[in-house]
Amino acid sequence: MRKEEIERRLHELRKKYISLVSSMQMAKAQKVKNKIEALERELEPHSLGDMLQDYTPEFKVEMLKKMHRLFVYSDLLEGAVLDFQSELESNGIQAEVVAMARKAVKEIRNIVRIPDEEKNPSLSEDFGNMCDEINLVVSNIINKYLAK
């Protein structure tokens, strides 16, 4: 279920719960309350570590790699859009692709912030260094192909 659907369903269930409690139908009210609590848990953000507790170590490592890729790609896209936008705007150029990318970056910023929100300076620094190295490699590959 999407977030909007869950919130709509929660609203309906809360109204039903109040109605059941006020009419002293406690057994039915408890069932509705259990449904409310289950839906509220769905809305709570979960860390990847929490979600992967029951999986094999190999699967956890694979998911960790994919999570890093997501963070790195998000960081690279955010940086590329900001650099491109800045360069175009400083030359008085408006490009539709920049407007489209800016919309994506608004969402991506939330992903890029996750490593920093861990409040671990070492993790943030390592992530920043990794992104810088990968950005350099990507730039070199692009330059190589453009030089052909």
Report the chain (148 residues): mean pLDDT per 10 consecutive residues. 81 92 92 89 68 83 88 91 88 85 82 77 86 96 95
Query: pTM value?
Result: 0.61
Spell out the domain ranges in the chain: 3-43, 48-146
Q: What pLDDT sits at residue 131?
A: 93
Could you read off the pLDDT of 80-94 as tens digits, one per residue? 988 988 888 888 888
What does the alpha-carbon distance between residue 24 and residue 26 come to, in Å, rounded to a whole number?
Answer: 6
Backbone angles phi, psi at 78, to 5 degrees: -60, -45
**What pLDDT shows up at residue 47?**
65
